[in-house]
Amino acid sequence: MTEVIKINETPIFPENLLSHLRTYQMLPQLLRELVIDHAIAQIECSPEEIETAKRQYLTQNRLTDPKRIQGWLNHNRLNQEEFEKIAVRSYKLKKFQQETWGAKIESYFLQRKRDLDQVVYSLLRTKDNNTATELYFRLQNNEASFEALAQTYSEGPEAQTRGIVGPVPVTTPHEKIAKMLVSSEVGQLWPPVRVGEWSIIVRLEKLISAQLDDATRQKLLNELFSKWLEEQIQKITKIEPLNSETSEVA
């Protein structure tokens, strides 16, 4: 049975959908999903895996009781069979990622580890160079705590956290700050450095070394998959007029 969308009893015909997708900027997402379908088409799931897929999908989306599940189905206008297809598709995608890049994750992790490491650091910034220099010497001589000076003198949002920033990926701060942090020992206090309009003082409080746990492994799989997916979208998708010969062959 062919279905048609109606808005206030006005039908949206299939031949107009492409135009709507372009107008609403949804076409890239559709192409992405179609390429994924093409990639996972040959992946099989056992009955046990199908049940696992459904349980995982419900858990990930916090659908913990029948009433909530039914509300989610109604909101998305899905039936049970369609829900199962969505859950299994998500499971197949993870299998595809693992089968394609799983063996490369450890080496990729080593390449990316520096970017995945996190830091906690103290930051004090002021637009006045002289003030920054004075505060630095007070810190160096233990005349005041970093927390107290940051809360009183820092002119950025870190004043609200007594100068503490993080934990954040080491690549998150300004490039100049990041270079200081990755070359620091814990507790090392840096003299004022000019970053844009600011004179900043930085001290590394903690370095959190990235570990290849399940969450990091999935993050890296997603990264590799996303790079591959963008290449595939450019490589194998096209939009062209449907002529009469194509229609007859189809």
* 86 within some domain: yes
Count of structural domains within the chain: 2
186 and 230 in a single domain? The answer is no
Query: With helix as H, strand as E and coil as C, how does the chain read?
Result: CCCCEEECCEEECHHHHHHHHHHCCCHHHHHHHHHHHHHHCCCCCCHHHHHHHHHHHHHHCCCCCHHHHHHHHHHHCCCHHHHHHHHHHHHHHHHHHHHHHHHHHHHHHHHHHHHHCEEEEEEEEECCHHHHHHHHHHHHCCCCCHHHHHHHHCCCHHHHHCCEEEEEECCCCCHHHHHHHHCCCCCCECCCEEECCEEEEEEEEEEECCCCCHHHHHHHHHHHHHHHHHHHHHHHCCCCCCCHHHHHHC
Tokens at residue 140, please?
A: 């160096």
* 8 within some domain: no
Please give the mean pLDDT across all residues of the chain. 91
172 and 204 in a single domain? The answer is yes
74 and 147 in a single domain? The answer is no
Whether the CB-CB separation of 140 and 173 falls below 8 Å is answered with no
88 and 60 in a single domain? The answer is yes
* 127 within some domain: yes
Q: Could you give the CA distance from residue 83 to residue 130 in angstroms, rounded to a whole number? A: 64
**pLDDT more than 90, % of the chain:** 81
pLDDT score of 15: 79
Q: For position 125, which CATH number holds? A: 3.10.50.40
| Position 245 pLDDT exceeds 70 | no
| Position 247 pLDDT exceeds 60 | no
60 and 141 in a single domain? The answer is no
* 7 within some domain: no
73 and 138 in a single domain? The answer is no
Whether the CB-CB separation of 201 and 139 falls below 8 Å is answered with yes
192 and 228 in a single domain? The answer is no
* 2 within some domain: no
* 172 within some domain: yes
38 and 69 in a single domain? The answer is yes
171 and 229 in a single domain? The answer is no
* 90 within some domain: yes
* 108 within some domain: no
80 and 131 in a single domain? The answer is no
Under the banding of pLDDT at 50, 70 and 90, the label for residue 246 is very low
User: Any bridge partners for residue 231, and if so which?
Assistant: none
Whether the CB-CB separation of 108 and 220 falls below 8 Å is answered with yes
- pTM for this prediction: 0.74
pLDDT digits (tens, 9 = 90+) for 133-182: 999 999 999 999 999 999 999 999 999 999 999 999 998 999 999 999 99
pLDDT digits (tens, 9 = 90+) for 37-60: 999 999 999 999 999 999 999 999
188 and 238 in a single domain? The answer is no
pLDDT digits (tens, 9 = 90+) for 95-135: 999 999 999 999 999 999 988 999 999 999 999 999 999 99
pLDDT score of 243: 67
Whether the CB-CB separation of 117 and 211 falls below 8 Å is answered with no
Q: Could you give the CA distance from residue 112 to residue 184 in angstroms, rounded to a whole number? A: 19
Query: Could you tell me the residue range of the domain that residue 203 belongs to?
Result: 118-208
191 and 244 in a single domain? The answer is no
